[in-house]
Structure 1
Amino acid sequence: MLHNGKLFWPHTFEGHDYPQLDTSIQCEVLIVGGGMSGALSAYTFAQAGYQTVLIDKGKIAAESSAANTGLLQYMSDKALHECIEDFGAEAAYHFYRQSYEGLSRIEALCHELPDDVRFIKRESVLYASKKKDARFLKKEYVALRKYGFPCQLLDKNELKKRYDIEAAGALITYEDAEINPYIFIQRLLEKAVSDYDLQIYADTELASWRTKKGRVVCRTTGGAEITANHTIYAGGYADNHFVKKIKKRKLVRSYAIVTQPVTELWPRNAMLWETARPYLYMRHAQENRIVIGGLDDNQKRVPGKWRIGRKTQKLKREFARMFPHIEIEIDARYGARFGETKDGLPFIGEVPGKKNCYMLLGYGGNGTVYSAFGSKMLLDMVQGRRTQMQQIFRLDR
């Protein structure tokens, strides 16, 4: 398992029991992974008319997606002005534009799904952790405004008045959202099965893949063989032989708590995060609960009970420091492995030396949004449409 502790989202929806694959099959597109990246990829290809199969080594949405805190933002952990400095203005702009459009795509998908996915548009407040960080916020505001992204810069007094936050200033981004990630995956796959004939097999683990005569032959640990025209590995933050050659990936641990329902929230139910790295973040959740996360550490091993208890108590103290008038009690607390990249970009593209084998790894704090635009990007690649953006996210960069 990629997480430890008591999760919250799986208790909000009873997931489906999908069968295990016990015979050899053929398909046009095979998706490996039943989390956020896999679900969005499976839906994208099935909707486009491809005979699509999805497999997962365990239950659907049971790994990192069950620990996903469900903040959807177009702004990346790597600020736009930092991207411009590192990649150049054109690549940086297109990265942020893809993220913005990916968020819009999730919203459009949610309009076709039941309301229990709880997609709610929110403002995001990126506040200055230290006084000197106000300069960072100003620089980012100028970059976002230059390229047409919706945002606003607040000084200390405006921030206190509008959001009741004590800080040197904040950058407000609009058109962001919160979501129940677990239910979103379940509902999206339900629709793909019923409307587009997606086939799903749980408890079906990929052991190997190889190319043969232009097709991809995949073998499961149970001995079944799946022959596909195209295979997309979307295995999230698993650390295995499929991803070992990707050099810029980095596995970390993060922590989160979900509170009991509260009687009071901060103004406007905005999503909050800070300029410090690692950063603290907070959001509203169903039944007037609060999700608080952060305190990442640079370890890939899933944390144990003692460390989870220590880190989550610190999350509670940090919240009390910001909002001493809001009393909270912890309902769920957990730690989980997540992935980052050394350059701040996800991995999307064809596996070098393996024709028709692809990967979608939404590493970074914005993985859901990356998966939304990455799945469309892979569809373009399979259909022969090449763009400059595909070079930016390639696996061997």
Structure 2
Amino acid sequence: MAERLTRQGRQVVIIDRELPSLGSTVASTAMLLWETDRPLFELAQLYNFEKAVRCYRASHHAARGLLALVTDHGIACQMRPRLSLYLAVDDSPKLVRNEYALRSRADLPTLFLDRVELLNRFGIARAGALLSRDAADADPVRLTRGLLDVSLQRGARLLKANAVAYDSAASTVTVGLENGLSIEARHVVLATGYVMPNIVGSTSNQPASSWAIATRRRPNALWPEQALIWEATRNYHYARTTPDGRVIFGGEDDDAIIDPEARAAATPAKVRALKERLKALWPRASTEVAFTWSGAFDTTRDGLPLIGAVPGYRNILAAFGYGGNGITFSFLAAELLGTLLSGGSSPLLDVLALDRDLPANDAPSDSQA
């Protein structure tokens, strides 16, 4: 966000109560996918085909834009263009075939692989998969710090403080800090992750926790082409490789365990489950786990982010609810809010509005069976 706003020539003050990159960022597995947590066919059921395609195309554009941005600035964050594999979870490829049909109709860069094609090319035994280009992976901490450095070099200021109050009654917004001081600004953007101020009254978001493991280095035992892997189900597992030959495998998401102490208590059982799931997916992976971690993130009921003006508060904007697409959606949010602050608009701002109404029929679809 700061990079986008300083690119516009704006004076930017970044307020962070923690050291930058040491919150949920450090827990990210940095799988930069453009497919959202909700498959295209589910979004089309929730809204309509045109609106669903608009969101998917915007996410695809954001993923490509982020890769170009990192390349343009020469940020050393181990970013690697990747393919992505969206795996069937049962013995039938029907659901991924249905998804492929809609993606083809939308002209999105995806191929369908049947069981034999998937096994021959990637060595993975599932009923089928969708293979997509334009994904990427990276080191999330180096990426964050690299973008922050670009912003600071342009004149942005970083303030370690805790913002506790917001007053937008006047022509400017006053941000009250915990230490008693205050800052006045023409506009305020809230990009605080899953811990949003009380003035943001959205009911569409829900925090959840996710766990991940990283294996010992075993560079000769990785799957072909080292594609990013995730599954065609609501609570999916996900996998990627690292440049030094590890497998990162995550999932076991839980919206009932948010507190750090509770997450720590649940970690041994979650790690055992992840090891079993990884062995079933890729038996050649190292059975030795070198690192384990967990983190909290924000989800929404429709799998789309919340981006736009905070209702009832003039000149205060917010961006959150990124789900499993945190890095990709943060780029999208920066582009949309940058456009909005420059006097422009986008149809996406209506689709992603903080006070949008979700369709009443939000029951689990067949993809969750």
Q: Same fold (TM over 0.5)?
A: yes
The residue number in structure 2 matching 1:33 is: none
- Please, which of 274, 277, 292 is the counterpart of residue 249 of structure 2? 292
- Please, which of 134, 149, 155 is the counterpart of residue 175 of structure 1? 134
The residue number in structure 2 matching 1:373 is: 332
The residue number in structure 1 matching 2:366 is: none
Distance 2:137 2:321 in 1: 18
Q: CA deviation at 1:242?
A: 4.0
Q: Cα RMSD over matched residues?
A: 1.4
AA at the equivalent of 1:213? A
1:100 aligns to what SS in structure 2?
A: helix
Q: CA deviation at 1:235?
A: 0.3
The residue number in structure 2 matching 1:30 is: none
Distance 1:115 1:285 in 2: 17
Choose 303-312 or 385-394, whichever is displaced more: 303-312
**Matches of residues 241-252 of structure 1 in structure 2 within 5 Å?**
241-243=198-200, 245-252=201-208
Q: CA deviation at 1:82?
A: 1.4
Choose 102-111 or 256-265, whichever is displaced more: 256-265
1:277 aligns to what SS in structure 2?
A: coil
Residue 75 (structure 2) pairs with residue 119 (structure 1):
no
Contact 1:362 / 1:368 at 8 angstroms: preserved in 2?
A: no
Residue 6 (structure 2) pairs with residue 46 (structure 1):
yes
For structure 2, the 5+ residue unaligned runs are 357-369
Q: Which has the higher contact order (CA 8 A, sep 6+)?
A: 1
The residue number in structure 2 matching 1:5 is: none
The residue number in structure 2 matching 1:261 is: 217
The residue number in structure 2 matching 1:140 is: 99
The list of structure 1 runs, each at least 4 consecutive aligned residues, that deviate by more than 4 angstroms after superposition, is none
For structure 1, the 5+ residue unaligned runs are 1-40
2:276 aligns to what SS in structure 1?
A: helix
CA-to-partner distance for each residue in 1:281-321, whole Å, 9 max, x for gaps? Answer: 10011311111000111213333433111101211121112
The residue number in structure 1 matching 2:144 is: 185
The residue number in structure 1 matching 2:227 is: 270
The residue number in structure 2 matching 1:4 is: none
AA at the equivalent of 1:143? L
Name the TM-score, length of structure 1 as normaliser: 0.86
CA-to-partner distance for each residue in 1:80-137, whole Å, 9 max, x for gaps? Answer: 12111211122111111110111111111111344531111111111111023x1111
**Matches of residues 1-397 of structure 1 in structure 2 within 5 Å?**
41-114=1-74, 116-132=76-92, 134-194=93-153, 196-202=154-160, 204-238=161-195, 240-243=197-200, 245-263=201-219, 264-299=221-256, 300-302=258-260, 303-397=262-356
**Between the two proteins, what is the percent identity of the paired residues?**
27
Distance 1:323 1:367 in 2: 26
Q: CA deviation at 1:240?
A: 4.7
2:192 aligns to what SS in structure 1?
A: coil
Distance 1:177 1:152 in 2: 17
Name the TM-score, length of structure 2 as normaliser: 0.92
Q: CA deviation at 1:138?
A: 0.7
For these two proteins, the number of residue pairs brought into alignment is 353
2:76 aligns to what SS in structure 1?
A: helix
Distance 1:292 1:209 in 2: 40
Distance 2:248 2:86 in 1: 16
AA at the equivalent of 2:251? G
AA at the equivalent of 1:298? D
